[in-house]
Structure 1
Amino acid sequence: MAEYPRLLHTVLDTTRPRQLAEFYRQLLGLHYRPGDEPPTDGTADEADWLVLVDSAGARMLAFQLVDHLARTTWPTHEVPMQLHVDFTVSSRDELERQRGRAEALGAELLLDRSDDPDEPLYVFADLSGHPFCLFVA
């Protein structure tokens, strides 16, 4: 059988790698790859590349420093999304709980389709303006 490339992780550009990594670490219950943790000795955090892993150590998301990031204008297309991430939850109650968590962490609600009978969902922007969806699987 032929070998195929495997997805290692998804990389998000950001002007604030630590803040965006912290947002997703807390939202998704992930952990820093060893060596990517925030400094604890009072030194400045100058991270320009960070990786979050799951409990088994599999890479999930990475964050790359960029000097400038034009925020998407979605749902209009002057500045397209280019990429978004989808996350699922098990129930409508869990969808509402996770909406509250996302907003408490700083996410901005872009679209509320929670009343959709087939696929209730919310679309948010993260701290760097990247859209992501939370919906009932």
Structure 2
Amino acid sequence: MSTQLEALPYRHVLTLPTEPSAVRIARETAEQALVEWRIGLRHPTVDPALLILSELVTNSVRHAASLSPQVTVIYAASPDCLAIAVHDRHPYQPPLYGAVTGAAGGGLATVMELVLALGGTAVVRADADGRGKSIWITLPL
């Protein structure tokens, strides 16, 4: 799996209002991008990746909308790697790996179980000003 995100040749960026319709639009956009990049929607990583994306955008809508009027989704891929990032301007950085051990739960626990089961990685990256963050997920294809 490629670990250099800047080396991923396929990219798409989508910015949406932080409202419930963002979840559907982000998922539909991911499906369109995957088709354009010739990654089959029946690939075994695609359904879990779409669920992960939906959970992360849902979390931004539910928990960050008060401080973040927009959510940005970054999609990137190579022949052997799919990366998804969800960015909002809320400063809270959830403990991703704590979700697996019980320190957090709900959607993040599902996200992390899927990421780990697929042999992927997850990381939270704070914005330079500390007022927002991106959650990056990489999955092997």
Give the TM-score normalised by the residue count of structure 1: 0.26
Higher helix share: 2
Give the TM-score normalised by the residue count of structure 2: 0.26
